[in-house]
C-alpha cells in the first residue's frame, strides 16, 4: 500500500530565474529573494507568529511549546542522507539533502530538511561554507555560515564559563578536591588555531591562579555541543550537563559539574540555543539548521530537538550524517538512534563519478577524463558503504550527484554495480536545476519507503564491553584486521567500566578520508590495523570516544586558508564565501 502524504502546491522559482551555470554559490543565493520566515512558518506549518523568535526577517528560532512531539502525535518519515568516503573531488551530501527536500516538495510532499550548523573553523579554513551549493542551497547563506543565530557562541561561552569556574574553584580552596594534574576540561573557540592545542594557564603568581597544563579544542568538538544536540528538552539538558566529568581527585574518583554546583548556570546560557533554527531553501521550503558536532570527533548529527520538531510538522524529513557512512551513518544509528528511539525509514548514499574515480586512483587533475576501469575500481568504496548500511537493516538508494562532464557510460556502470548489490542508483541534477533535478531521486526514496518500514538494527548490544564495541566497529564497518590499544587506552577503558559507564555506545574519532587511519589509503582497504591511542569519557553526552591515529580536536589551517578569499565588497556584501 502506498504511503499517503499531505499534498502541497509547490511555489518554486523556475530554473530560468537562476543565474547561468558557473555562477558562484553566493551569487546564486543572493539571486533569490527569501520569503518572510513568519509567513513561511504560518503557510507551511500553520504556526502562529508568536511561536517564532525572529532574527531579522528570514531567520528564526522555534519555540518548542508550540510543537507536539509526544509519542501519540503524528510523526513523519525520516530519510537519512549519507555518502561515500569524502574526497577533494566533492560528493555533495548537504547539496543533495537540500535538493532532495526540494524534490519532495516539487512532488507535493510536505517535507523539511534538518542540517547541522557550519563552524567558522572550516568556513575560514579548508572547507568553506556548508549551506549546500548551486541551485540546492539554504538561505540566507552568509548568515548561516557566519555566526548564524548565536548558538555556537552560547556553547563556547558555556564551555569556557565551566573552565573558568573550575580554575576559580581551585583558587578558592578546592572544596571538591580536584587534582590540577587530572583536570580534563579544556577551553574551546570556534576557529582553527594549532598554536593553542597545548598551553599552560595560571602563570604570573598566586593572584593569577594555579599553573597547570591545558589547551583549546574547536567548539564543535565540545562535549556541550554533543549534549545540546542529544538533549531532549531543558530538563534533560540540565541533567546531562550535570553529568559532565571535569577531572579527577588524587584518588582518581571523578568530579562532575554537579559536584561543582554549576549545571544551572550552564543551562541558562544555553536556554535559547536549545531552540531549533528555521530558515529556507532557494525554493522557499523549510529548513531546520541546529547544532554542529564534528563527525570524526563526535556523533556528527543535527539536534534531536530539530529532528523531533521537523517530524512533528512534516510527512517526510530529510536529515544528514557527517562525512561518509562509516563515520556519520554508523554514529547516527548507534548513538543518536540508540539514545532517542528515532529510526530512519530510508537512506540515501551520495556519490559522484569524479569522487569514485579518485577512489580508484585517478588524480584530481584528470577526473574529467572518462575512465571506466578506474571508476569500477573506485566503486569498491561505494559497495563497502552500501553493504555497511545493509548491516543496519537499511536498503539505501544511491544518488549519483551529476557533474557536467559525466558520461552516460559512466552513469550506467554505477547503476549496474548498484543493481548487483540490490539497490537502485538514480542520477540527480539538483546542483544545476534545484528540486526539479531531484524529483526522480525523491520518487525513488518514496518507492523504497512504500516497501515497508525497515527493521533497523544496532551494530552491537549495550552489554558488550567497550573494547569489544570498538573492535566490532573496526572489523565490521572499517574491515580492519586488528585493533591495538595503547597502555593508556587500556587503562582508561578499564576505569570507565569500573565507574559504571561500560554500557555506553562508542564514538570512533578518526580521519574521515579513509576506512583506515591513513588518509592516503583510498578505495575499500581491508586487514589494516586500527590504533586506539586514548579513550575519552563523555558522560554528559552519553558516549565514549576512541581517539585513533593522529586525529586532532583542534584542527589547523591549511597552507592557503579560505579566509584569504573572503571579504566585503564596496557595497558591504560578503564575497568569496563558498
**Cα separation of 222 and 169, whole Å?**
21
* Residue 377 banded pLDDT, cuts 50, 70, 90: very high
Average pLDDT, the chain: 93
User: What is the mean predicted confidence (pLDDT) over 529-541?
Assistant: 97
Residue 18: predicted pLDDT: 61
Domains and CATH numbers, the chain: 77-142+301-451 (3.40.50.300), 151-270 (3.30.1510.10), 469-547 (3.10.410.10)
Residue 12: predicted pLDDT: 56
The reply to whether 558 sits in an annotated binding site is no
Reported pTM: 0.93
Of residues 72 and 566, the one with the higher pLDDT is 566
**Cα separation of 508 and 516, whole Å?**
12
CA angle 538, 123, 430 (to 5 degrees): 100
pLDDT, tens digit (0-9, with 9 covering 90-100), for 101-139:
999 999 999 999 999 998 888 888 876 667 889 999 999
* Residue 13 banded pLDDT, cuts 50, 70, 90: low
Asked if 267 contacts 234 with a C-beta cutoff of 8 angstroms, the reply is yes
**DSSP secondary-structure letter at 321?**
B
Residue 16: predicted pLDDT: 47
The reply to whether 24 sits in an annotated binding site is no
The reply to whether 93 sits in an annotated binding site is yes
**Cα separation of 431 and 418, whole Å?**
22
Which grid cell is 201? 594557564
**Cα separation of 228 and 100, whole Å?**
27
Asked if 389 contacts 349 with a C-beta cutoff of 8 angstroms, the reply is yes
Cis-peptide into 140, omega within 30 deg: yes
Known catalytic residues?
93, 95, 116, 127, 295, 323, 403, 431
The reply to whether 50 sits in an annotated binding site is no
**93-102, 126-135, 306-315, 452-461: least confidently modelled range:** 126-135
Asked if 14 contacts 135 with a C-beta cutoff of 8 angstroms, the reply is no
User: What is the mean predicted confidence (pLDDT) over 320-332?
Assistant: 94
The reply to whether 214 sits in an annotated binding site is no
Residue 565: predicted pLDDT: 87
The reply to whether 88 sits in an annotated binding site is yes
User: What is the mean predicted confidence (pLDDT) over 86-102?
Assistant: 93
Amino acid at each position: 500500500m502506498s504511503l499517503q502524504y499531505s499534498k502541497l502546491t509547490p511555489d518554486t522559482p523556475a530554473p530560468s530565474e537562476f543565474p547561468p551555470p558557473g555562477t558562484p554559490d553566493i551569487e546564486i543565493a543572493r539571486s533569490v529573494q527569501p520569503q518572510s520566515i513568519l509567513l513561511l512558518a504560518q503557510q507551511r506549518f500553520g504556526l502562529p507568529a508568536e511561536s517564532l523568535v525572529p532574527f531579522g526577517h528570514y531567520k528564526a528560532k522555534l519555540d518548542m511549546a508550540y510543537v507536539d512531539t509526544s509519542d501519540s502525535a503524528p510523526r513523519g518519515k525520516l530519510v537519512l542522507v549519507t555518502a561515500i568516503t569524502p574526497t577533494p573531488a566533492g560528493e555533495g551530501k548537504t547539496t543533495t539533502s537540500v535538493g532532495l527536500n526540494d524534490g519532495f516538495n516539487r512532488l507535493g510532499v510536505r517535507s523539511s530538511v534538518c542540517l547541522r550548523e557550519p563552524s567558522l573553523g572550516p568556513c575560514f579554513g579548508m572547507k568553506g561554507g556548508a549551506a549546500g551549493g548551486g541551485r540546492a542551497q539554504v538561505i540566507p547563506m552568509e548568515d548561516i555560515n557566519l555566526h548564524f543565530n548565536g548558538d555556537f557562541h552560547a556553547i563556547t561561552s558555556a564551555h569556557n564559563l565551566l573552565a573558568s569556574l573550575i580554575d576559580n574553584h581551585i583558587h578558592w580552596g578546592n572544596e571538591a578536591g580536584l587534582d590540577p594534574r587530572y583536570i580534563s576540561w579544556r577551553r574551546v573557540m570556534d576557529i582553527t588555531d594549532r598554536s593553542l592545542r597545548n598551553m599552560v594557564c595560571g602563570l604570573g603568581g598566586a593572584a593569577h591562579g594555579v599553573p597547570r597544563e591545558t589547551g583549546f579544542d574547536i567548539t564543535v568538538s565540545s562535549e556541550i555541543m554533543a549534549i545540546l544536540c542529544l538533549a531532549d528538552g531543558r530538563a534533560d539538558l540540565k541533567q546531562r550537563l550535570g553529568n559532565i566529568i571535569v577531572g579527577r581527585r588524587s584518588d582518581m574518583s571523578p568530579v562532575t559539574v554537579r559536584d561543582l554546583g554549576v549545571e544551572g548556570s550552564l543551562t541558562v546560557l544555553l536556554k535559547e540555543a536549545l531552540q531549533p533554527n528555521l530558515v529556507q531553501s532557494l525554493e522557499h521550503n523549510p529548513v531546520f539548521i541546529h547544532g554542529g558536532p564534528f563527525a570524526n570527533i563526535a556523533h556528527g548529527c543535527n539536534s534531536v530537538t530539530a529532528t523531533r520538531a521537523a517530524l512533528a510538522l512534516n510527512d517526510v524529513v530529510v536529515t544528514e550524517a557527517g562525512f561518509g557512512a562509516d563515520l556519520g551513518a554508523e554514529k547516527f544509528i548507534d548513538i543518536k538512534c540508540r539514545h532517542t528511539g528515532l529510526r530512519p525509514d530510508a537512506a540515501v548514499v551520495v556519490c559522484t563519478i569524479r569522487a569514485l574515480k579518485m577512489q580508484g586512483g585517478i588524480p584530481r587533475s584528470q577526473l574529467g577524463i572518462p575512465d571506466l576501469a578506474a571508476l569500477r575500481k573506485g566503486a569498491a568504496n561505494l559497495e563497502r558503504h552500501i553493504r555497511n548500511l545493509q548491516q543496519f537493516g537499511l536498503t539505501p538508494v544511491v544518488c549519483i550527484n551529476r557533474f557536467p562532464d559525466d558520461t552516460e557510460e559512466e552513469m550506467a556502470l554505477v547503476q549496474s554495480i548498484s543493481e548487483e548489490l540490490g539497490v537502485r542508483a538514480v542520477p540527480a541534477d539538483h546542483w544545476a536545476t534545484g528540486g526539479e533535478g531531484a524529483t526522480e531521486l525523491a520518487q525513488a526514496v518514496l518507492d523504497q519507503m512504500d516497501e515497508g518500514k525497515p527493521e533497523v538494527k544496532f551494530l552491537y548490544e549495550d552489554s558488550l564491553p567497550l573494547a569489544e564495541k570498538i573492535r566490532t566497529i573496526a572489523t565490521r564497518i572499517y574491515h580492519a584486521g586488528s585493533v591495538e590499544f595503547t597502555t593508556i587506552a587500556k587503562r582508561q577503558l578499564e576505569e570507565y567500566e569500573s565507574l559504571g559507564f561500560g554500557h555506553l555506545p562508542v564514538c570512533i574519532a578518526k580521519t574521515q578520508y579513509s576506512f583506515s587511519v591513513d588518509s592516503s589509503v583510498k578505495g575499500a582497504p581491508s586487514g589494516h590495523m586500527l590504533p586506539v591511542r586514548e579513550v575519552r569519557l563523555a558522560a554528559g553526552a552519553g558516549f565514549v570516544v576512541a581517539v585513533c591515529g593522529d586525529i586532532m580536536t583542534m584542527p589547523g589551517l591549511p597552507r592557503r586558508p579560505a579566509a584569504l578569499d573572503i571579504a566585503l565588497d564596496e557595497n558591504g556584501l560578503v564575497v568569496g564565501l563558498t
